[in-house]
């Protein structure tokens, strides 16, 4: 096994949104950063392809976003429907808009921004696990072209996704027994009736997200439980089309449409973690825990988690925080910032699993629409006004 000469201050495993933003923040602060990414960008990524106002604000705190907002589509709010026909249409208001942009384009832009800020980016290289030195993580083990190397660093940020080889290898993460849901997503061209809104159509045990994208594309994503996912595994396109044409508000719009490329099936989605890292390692992004995407908060949590990981890393490198105390410090920051959102997400997940829960919620929405306007406001980190269709 070879060793990379000249250890970095920080090595970041994963060049997705969390890893790229953490690398950007650290490089701008003068830290020597090396990003190790297994793919070559741009690369396809299953996602809802939208940043809510909270996610966009978190990104804007660090990176000039004018270039990417020009290439995206403003999203002014969310439409939420239930099985009884009730429709909640909420605008983001003064905090908005959000942004719709294909993830492959967003991710490539953000990783390029990190490189421009001074981070060394190495694509096409797999992080296979942590490098342990003096009883703590002292970098990562990588593989490229069949050759294993150790990339040493004073600190490591694990942002290598739901199946993080760092978090899984150290026993920090697992896929929980419940919930176990899978996503089936695809792009469609020329879908009529799409407006500058994201859409969430909630059914019994499943939901469909729809988002307009630049260039006339539409993102459609179905999230289902394990039994339905097993049935769909052999024909994901058929399962997705059945869900779209079986949803009243979507049926006419998707009738006769076909995905522009084969749908992607991904799961199980949820990831639980027992800690935010270990001495020498801090987790960020999906590696630090992945929640059900029903609230559309994935990128918001990824960017926020990247901010906190970078802040803690700077405290360690600056001598203000002991490296052994860093994981607990990161966990405390994440808990303070995300606890309410985690509880909110768990409550919605349970609602899908309880017999009659979705139908009961739909009747509440019909009688008390302002409560569900608050759901849209809270999910997007902004205020809303509401129009209700009965």
Dist CA 390 CA 387 (whole Å): 10
Percentage helix, strand, coil for the chain under 3-state DSSP, each rounded to 5:
40, 30, 35
Neighbours of 337 (CB within 10 A): 14
**Ramachandran quadrant class, 256 (left: phi over 0; alpha: psi -120 to 50; beta: rest):** left
> Which tokens sit at 27?
């490089």
DSSP line for 95-110: G--EEE--HHHHHHHH
Neighbours of 112 (CB within 10 A): 16
Q: How far is CA 116 from the centre of its chain?
A: 23
pTM for the full predicted model: 0.90
User: Could you report the per-residue pLDDT of 32-90, keeping only the tens digit for each?
Assistant: 999 999 999 999 999 999 998 889 999 999 999 999 999 999 998 888 887 767 777 77
Report in angstroms the alpha-carbon separations of 229 from 245, 368, 376.
18, 33, 27
What was the pLDDT predicted at 216? 92
Could you tell me if 218 and 212 are in contact, meaning their C-beta atoms sit under 8 angstroms apart? yes
Q: How far is CA 8 from the centre of its chain?
A: 27
| The residue to which tokens 């995905």 are assigned | 259
User: Could you report the per-residue pLDDT of 16-30, keeping only the tens digit for each?
Assistant: 999 999 999 999 999
Average pLDDT in the 185-206 region?
A: 88
């Amino acid at each position: 096994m070879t060793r990379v000469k000249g250890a970095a201050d920080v090595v970041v495993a994963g060049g997705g949104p969390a890893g790229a933003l953490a690398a950007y923040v650290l490089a701008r602060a003068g830290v020597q950063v090396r990003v190790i990414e297994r793919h070559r960008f741009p690369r396809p990524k299953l996602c809802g392809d939208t940043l809510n106002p909270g996610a966009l604000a978190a990104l804007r705190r660090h990176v000039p976003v004018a270039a990417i907002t020009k290439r995206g589509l403003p999203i002014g709010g969310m439409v939420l429907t239930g099985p009884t026909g009730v429709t909640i249409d909420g605008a983001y208001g003064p905090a908005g808009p959000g942004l719709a942009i294909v993830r492959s384009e967003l991710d490539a832009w953000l990783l390029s921004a990190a490189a421009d800020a001074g981070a060394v980016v190495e694509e096409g290289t797999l992080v296979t696990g942590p490098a342990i030195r003096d009883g703590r993580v002292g970098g990562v083990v990588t593989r490229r072209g069949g050759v294993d190397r150790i990339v040493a660093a004073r600190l490591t940020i694990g942002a290598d996704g739901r199946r993080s080889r760092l978090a899984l290898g150290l026993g920090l993460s697992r896929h929980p027994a419940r919930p176990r849901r899978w996503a089936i997503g695809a792009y469609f061209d020329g879908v009529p009736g799409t407006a500058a809104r994201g859409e969430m159509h909630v059914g019994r045990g499943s939901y469909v997200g729809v988002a307009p994208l630049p260039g006339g594309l539409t993102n459609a994503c179905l999230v289902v439980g394990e039994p339905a996912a097993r049935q769909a595994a052999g024909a994901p396109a058929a399962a997705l089309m059945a869900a779209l044409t079986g949803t009243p508000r979507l049926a006419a719009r998707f009738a006769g449409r076909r995905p522009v490329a084969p749908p992607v099936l991904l799961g199980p989605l949820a990831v639980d973690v027992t800690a935010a890292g270990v001495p020498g390692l801090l987790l960020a992004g999906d590696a630090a825990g992945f929640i059900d995407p029903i609230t559309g908060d994935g990128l918001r949590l990824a960017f926020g988690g990247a901010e906190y990981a970078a802040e803690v890393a700077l405290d360690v490198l600056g001598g203000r925080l002991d490296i052994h105390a860093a994981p607990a410090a990161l966990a405390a920051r994440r808990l303070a910032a995300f606890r309410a959102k985690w509880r909110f997400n768990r409550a919605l997940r349970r609602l899908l699993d309880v017999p009659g829960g979705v139908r009961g919620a739909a009747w509440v929405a019909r009688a008390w629409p302002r409560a569900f306007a608050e759901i849209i406001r809270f999910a997007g980190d902004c205020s809303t006004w509401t129009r209700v269709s009965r």
